Structure 1
Amino acid sequence: MSRAELTRPAAGRVGLSTFHLGEVIVGEMAAPAQRLERTEQMIARQGLDHVLMQFHESGTSRVETARHRASVAAGQVVLFDLAQPVVVEADPVSATTLLMPRALVTDGVGPIEPLHGRAFAYEADPVKQLLHTYLRGLIACGTQLAPHQLSGVSQAASKLCGAGFRPEAGAADPVEFGTHVAIRQFIQRELHSADLGVETLTARFGLSRATLYRLFAAEGGVVHYIRDRRLMQALRLLTEAGSHRRVSQVAYATGFADEKTFSRAFRRRFGMLPREARAAAPAAPPPSGDAAVLHGWIRSLAA
């Protein structure tokens, strides 16, 4: 396990100690009162497509997304979809954090979009409490874990997330949940295909249009989901360090018929053109220090 400390806790500063476990990043954070806003433009500049969980241990914060508002207190965990905008107004807080690739979360939990910015009481739920205890145990281990152990450790965190945040019994049919996961995995593999769409999915999975639409209702519909996944993949290709792909190449690589359609959709989603997002992205991580290490870790996690 590798470790980085962005700062040490001090008055008026954020203290953040993080540990890289191969497929996930675990950390502990202490921060003063502050207001944080994650905009579409910031999402476009950073190119991150991950899920962040914060287990509040002290302090309160207020979270506002496009869907709802929530108040997060000690003993609660809040989920953030880093591909969606959010505003957070926080009092002084301390928290344990878990950063995971989207696929590692959604394959066990289901759609993450409707969970963005929502708070859950982890002290009142045995599995969520177990996940929090597990993360604290990982942090206590420090750098003692061997490299060959990291995959199992990160998979255990993923499994606990699936057990703790999957819809309650009766809210989702297990067969439909498995089908939903399989369809999302297929979509991710086929983002490059211009033929990917409703007809392809209904034929491959033997579903009616009505069933397919219902499965993706929480994500804004299957057409919206495919378009958003294509745009997030395009964003990743545009902003990765050392990328020299032309905008047209990225458009075709993510299933768009032409550069004009792609650029128009990209601007609607992120508030800037593809070439502007590429120009705004850092050409490489900061040259040195723990911030550079953490930046490299996050970018290395498969989105």
Structure 2
Amino acid sequence: MTVLLNGKTHTQTTRDAFSGGPGEVQIHSLGRSFDGVVAERSKVLILFVPRDLSFEIAATLGSAEFSTIATGMGRLFSDYLVDVAHRLPMLAQADLPSLAGATRAMILACVSPSTDHADAAKGPIANVLRERARRLVHARLLDPKLSSELVRKELGVSRTRLYNLFEPLGGVMHYIQHRRLLSAYAALTDPSDRRLIFQIAEERGFSDGAEFGRAFKRTFGYSPSEVRNSGGGGMPLRSHLADCPSVERLGLLLRLLQG
């Protein structure tokens, strides 16, 4: 199973020919002859799936061999593989069985969509969607238009699904505010950023300075002026307030895979 990160590919078999672009999932059988061309400077991520992984997987991939899956679920699977590839060096041996189970579920949901397969893959699917949302919030953190509705539309999910995805984090807007407060903390402890506190707050969507001060102190235990005056010295950022590190996010994903 191949995910093209950038560039183009072309495959020619005895019966058919097909091409692929970035983010699309392609299935090639290594037990059959084919000619493949990858454009210069293209980057490709490949998952080799043993035929003895499971009979269901082998039959499903066999029925879809030499094809491109350019569907919404295919894009989710593409994001899943990219994320797993990034986290793989940090995995412990004990994590591998859960990861294999999650990957089996994602393959079936991608290649042979059904209610049962989607239910089996709901854990990793939810984590892929949350990671997409995290990247979106990070990229548009200071955008005044950033809202739960914008996130919902970008993810292409219902309001109920979005609520369920972010319920463990206190909701979408709570997460966005949390990230903005962390950004404000970083600005206040940056010696080169000498803007007024209300300017830093306003840039992050707080039009009321008193509201910003209350939210900031509730989160960090210090007022914005205390943090600014100390330059962050002696006021360490509580570990549970920062974004979950990559390795911990993967650990959480693995714990939820079978749920």
Question: Is TM more than 0.5 here?
Answer: no
Q: Give TM-score, length-normalised by structure 2.
A: 0.43
Structure richer in helix, relative to its length: 2
Q: Which has the larger radius of gyration?
A: 2
TM-score normalized by structure 1?
0.38
